Amino acid sequence: MASKKDNRTIESAGSREQGMNIFYRPSKATKDGWDINRLPIKRESPQSPVINLGSNSGSCVLAGTPVLMADGSSKLIETFVGGEIVRTLTGVSRVRAMESPRLGVTRRIIEMRAGAGDPLYISDEHAMWTRFDDAGVTAEWWGVYNFNHYLVEKANGVGVSITRDARPLRFDVPQTHAHIDGWKHVQPIYHLMDPETPLFHLDVETGGSYIAGGFIISSHASDADSIGVEWKAKPDEVLESFIAAVTSAV
């Protein structure tokens, strides 16, 4: 009887108001066990070991993500060794090092799809260059979807070093992100992945950013890298081949 009553309540609530649009792409490896009435947890085993599954570095992207080089070519992020020259929000910069943390349990991978080509798969606390419209006033600044994890990284010195924090982003409506092919209105699609999933991130010497999967993302950005900056979304000859690669139909 209780189960039927709960179902009627849910249906009634759904008919009265429209729910939020939160997109999620289930993994084929998702385990069964959850139902509407019971959690898949054994409460009688409080002495089970606690494992540290927090991430050990800053924001990052999945392997296979193309990064825009200074000469207009692309290079997969997991193949960097340091010393390469990449495009940034404001120019070019040398890569100081490639970082490779694990995903952990306090953040998710989001899929950012800007067109028909391959999307960007990025951790949800990674700051992305974003355009905001506040009461008719347009501004550009860093935005993040997982603000809590962003704050933890910043406090531990592995995230950005900007004085004015990145702005929290709503994940239930599209946001306007800087892209090599213009400003793109994108809503994240969430992925549930293993906490041990390897991720990759570039630490650049100057510019505080690089271009991954076509999007402008932070690389330990500072005030000097960010204040007063405007993204010039006008493709030049150096960008043309990279734009074609990330926006072409699969």
- The whole-number mean pLDDT for each consecutive block of 10 residues of the chain, a chain of 250 residues, reads 41 47 72 57 58 65 96 96 96 95 91 91 97 93 95 87 95 96 95 92 96 96 95 62 52
Whole-number pLDDT of residue 241? 55
What pLDDT was estimated at residue 27? 72
Q: Is residue 233 part of a domain?
A: yes
Total domains in the fold of the chain: 1
Q: What is the pLDDT of residue 1?
A: 44
Residue 186 in any domain: the answer is: yes
Q: Is residue 163 part of a domain?
A: yes
Indicate whether 59 belongs to any domain.
no
Residue 5: predicted pLDDT: 41
pTM metric for this prediction: 0.79
Residue 135: predicted pLDDT: 86
Buried b (16+ CB within 10 A) or exposed e, 196-211: ebebbbbbbebbbbbb
For residue 184, the model assigns a pLDDT of 95
The answer to the question of residue 8 being in a domain is: no
Does residue 156 fall inside a structural domain?
yes
Where do runs of H (alpha helix) occur along the chain?
2-16, 147-155, 223-226, 240-247
Cα–Cα distances in angstroms (integers) from residue 77 to residues 3, 17, 70, 134, in the given order: 49, 44, 14, 35
What are residue 132's DSSP bridge partners?
139
* Containing structural domain, residue 94: 66-247
Q: Provide the CATH number for the domain around residue 73.
A: 2.170.16.10
Residue 42 covered by a domain: no
For residue 26, the model assigns a pLDDT of 74
Neighbours of 66 (CB within 10 A): 21
Q: Does 210 map to a domain?
A: yes
